[in-house]
């Protein structure tokens, strides 16, 4: 039963006399929902404290029956207590680095907005903070990481019934494609070969290079045989790291945590690698196919390491691999930043893997599976960079228009892309007239104008027709066929009848 009384206690003085003290304010005593007794400091007025005790007892009973909002108490607690509970819930589920970055961004946006409790979190404050980040020079990707950390925390609060709904769920992410701060370039096959060769020999060459004196710059320093073997082994390991990154598309963190037990070598010189759940970015186990030559290199590397156990790591990937790559690029004569302002860093090898898949006409779905992406759009739009060679080849296949300086009316094609019906014109190119209705003046009479023209024309028309095409004219139906050369040839034949 609810009651109100003052708190009393006894204190012994230095003289040995015991004095009984009584609090100046009353305390509210009430029954909680579990059958126990609760206590809370009240007021100096006994009636007011008794009313508080009765109200607390009613609320405890309603809470026990599920008739009261349990999140009301959570909303009034300091938000720092909830963040600490959130941090404890993430421990063991994510890496230490991810946890530290999440807490840093979450603390930054909470302090920047001035939120003290969960009920103070609102959309306007978060949007204003993200806007201030952009004004201070942060890119859209950085702003999205802050937003994602806050959204994950608020979703956890909803799941644990600390709040009823996510108050910042309507804050939309910013478009990262509109402002990419660090555009990554790709490597050509020749550049990757040069990088592998340079990284293999650079540790030994740098150790043998004299840094001062008359022989400065000469590679004549004396090294012991164990030191020479260690440097050669280090160069071989770096070369294998670059080759593995370029031919598998693994991320640096995934490669650094790859163990020999994750590799499976088959009898037909093939191999598979498993990216474990705790190593993968998507937090699920993924399979990576290894090419035959890379599998053979890994077999030899395992032999050189004395057949290590399954728990040992395949490579000792250094933490400063980005800086090491810069020096290897310089030794290979490859610029770290190309003429278009794109950077070649460690992750560029993953972009190179995706670009090479696109250049080999691999279906987009297969490329997505090889890249281990969640969407085809990410693979096609972000990781497949059209190379200059393919772009130039596509541009060179366009019709060769006459030059305004020299005049002329002929429409020309490059020899490898010329229509089969046209004759050879001046300059080694084949030409047709501008309106494409008759051969050019300098074109010889071809096989379409001989006595077998009718049979060849019928074969062309029959090849273009399908069921139901009789309701359309041949001219319109032929226009549906892909390929410029095919349409021009068919149009010429029909006009020549």
Are 234 and 289 in the same domain? yes
Long-range contacts, 443-446 (Cβ 8 Å, 24+): 446/421, 446/422
Are 199 and 304 in the same domain? yes
Q: Which residue has the higher pLDDT, 478 or 187?
A: 187
Are 327 and 208 in the same domain? yes
Residue pair 99/87 in contact (Cβ under 8 Å)? The answer is yes
Are 216 and 242 in the same domain? yes
Helices (H) and strands (E) in the chain, counts: 18, 8
Confidence of residue 115 (pLDDT cuts 50, 70, 90): very high
Q: Which of 16, 48, 68 is the last residue of a domain?
A: 68
Are 146 and 207 in the same domain? no
pLDDT digits (tens, 9 = 90+) for 467-477: 444 444 444 44
Q: Which residue has the higher pLDDT, 241 or 368?
A: 241
Mean of pLDDT values over 177-191: 80
Angle at which helices 96-113 and 140-159 pack, to 10 degrees?
90
Q: Which of 123, 143, 178 is the last residue of a domain?
A: 178
pLDDT of 279 over the 60 cut: yes
Residue pair 117/76 in contact (Cβ under 8 Å)? The answer is yes
Residue 89 CA to chain centroid, in angstroms? 25
C-alpha to C-alpha distance for 115 and 23, rounded to whole angstroms: 35
Mean of pLDDT values over 399-427: 57
pLDDT digits (tens, 9 = 90+) for 409-422: 555 555 555 554 44
pLDDT of residue 127: 92
Q: Quote the domain boundaries for residue 452.
A: 411-495
Torsion of CA 141, 142, 147, 152, to 10 degrees: 90
pLDDT of 482 over the 60 cut: no
> What three-state secondary structure class fits 339?
coil
SS (H, E, C) 237-277: HHHHHHHHHHHHCCCHHHHHCCEHHHEEECCCCCEEEEECC
- Answer whether residue 242 is part of any domain: yes
C-alpha to C-alpha distance for 287 and 270, rounded to whole angstroms: 13
Are 248 and 286 in the same domain? yes
Are 166 and 193 in the same domain? no
- Tokens 């003085």 map to which residue? 13
- Answer whether residue 405 is part of any domain: no
**Cα diameter, the chain:** 138
pLDDT of 432 over the 50 cut: no
Number of structural domains, the chain?
Answer: 4
Give me the phi and psi of 94, to 5 degrees please. Answer: -125, 170
Q: Which residues contact 361 (CB under 8 A, 6 or more apart)?
A: none
> What three-state secondary structure class fits 73?
helix
The pTM for the full model equals 0.59
pLDDT digits (tens, 9 = 90+) for 193-211: 999 999 999 999 989 988 8
Nearest partner of 123 among 80, 158, 165, 71, judged by Cα? 165
Taking the CA atoms of 171, 173, 175 and 176 in sequence, report the sign of the dihedral they define.
positive
pLDDT of 126 over the 50 cut: yes
Q: Of the given ranges (100-104, 272-276, 451-455), which has the lowest mean pLDDT? A: 451-455
Structure tokens at 362: 């691999």
Q: Which of 124, 159, 178 is the last residue of a domain?
A: 178
pLDDT of residue 495: 54
- Answer whether residue 436 is part of any domain: yes
Q: Which of 269-278, 357-366, 406-415, 453-462 has the highest mean pLDDT?
A: 269-278
């Amino acid at each position: 039963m609810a009651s109100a009384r003052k708190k009393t206690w006894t204190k012994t003085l230095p003289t040995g006399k015991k004095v009984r003290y009584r609090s100046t304010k009353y305390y509210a005593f009430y029954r909680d929902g579990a059958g126990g007794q609760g206590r809370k400091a009240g007021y100096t007025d006994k009636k007011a404290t008794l009313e508080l005790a009765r109200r607390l007892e009613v609320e405890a009973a309603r809470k026990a029956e599920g008739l009261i909002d349990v999140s009301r108490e959570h909303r009034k607690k300091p938000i720092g207590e909830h963040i600490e509970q959130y941090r404890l819930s993430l421990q063991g589920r994510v890496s230490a680095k991810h946890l530290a970055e999440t807490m840093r961004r979450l603390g930054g946006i909470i302090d920047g907005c001035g939120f003290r409790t969960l009920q103070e979190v609102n959309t306007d404050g978060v949007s204003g903070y993200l806007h201030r980040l952009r004004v201070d020079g942060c890119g859209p990707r950085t702003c999205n990481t802050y937003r994602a950390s806050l959204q994950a925390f608020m979703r956890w609060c909803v799941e644990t019934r600390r709040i009823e709904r996510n108050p910042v769920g309507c804050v939309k992410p910013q478009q990262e494609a509109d402002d990419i701060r660090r555009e990554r370039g790709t490597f050509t096959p020749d550049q990757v070969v040069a990088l592998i060769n340079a990284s293999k020999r650079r540790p030994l060459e740098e150790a043998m290079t004299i840094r001062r004196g008359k022989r400065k710059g000469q590679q004549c320093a004396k090294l012991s045989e164990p030191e020479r073997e260690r440097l050669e082994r280090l160069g071989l390991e770096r070369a294998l790291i670059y080759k593995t990154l370029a031919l598998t598309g693994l991320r640096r963190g995934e490669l650094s945590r790859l163990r020999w037990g994750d590799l499976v070598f088959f009898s037909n010189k093939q191999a598979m690698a498993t990216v474990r759940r705790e190593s993968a970015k998507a937090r699920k186990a993924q399979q990576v196919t290894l090419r035959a030559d890379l599998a053979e290199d890994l077999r030899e590397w395992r032999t050189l390491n004395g057949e290590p156990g399954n728990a040992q790591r395949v490579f000792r990937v250094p933490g400063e691999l980005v800086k090491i790559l810069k020096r290897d690029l310089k030794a290979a004569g490859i610029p770290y930043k190309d003429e278009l302002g794109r950077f070649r860093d460690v992750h560029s090898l993953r972009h190179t893997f995706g670009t090479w898949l696109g250049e080999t006409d691999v279906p987009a779905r297969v490329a997505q599976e090889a890249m281990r992406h969640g969407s085809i759009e990410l693979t096609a739009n972000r990781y497949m960079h059209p190379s200059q060679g393919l772009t130039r080849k596509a541009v060179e296949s366009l019709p060769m228009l006459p030059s305004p300086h020299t005049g002329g009316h002929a429409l020309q094609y490059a020899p490898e892309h010329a229509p089969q019906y046209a004759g050879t014109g001046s300059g080694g190119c084949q030409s047709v007239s501008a309106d494409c209705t008759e051969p050019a003046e300098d074109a010889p009479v071809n096989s379409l104008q001989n006595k077998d023209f009718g049979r060849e024309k019928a074969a062309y028309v029959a090849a273009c027709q399908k069921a139901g095409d009789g309701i359309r004219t041949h001219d319109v139906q032929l226009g549906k066929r892909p390929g410029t050369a095919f349409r021009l040839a068919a149009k010429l034949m029909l006009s020549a009848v």
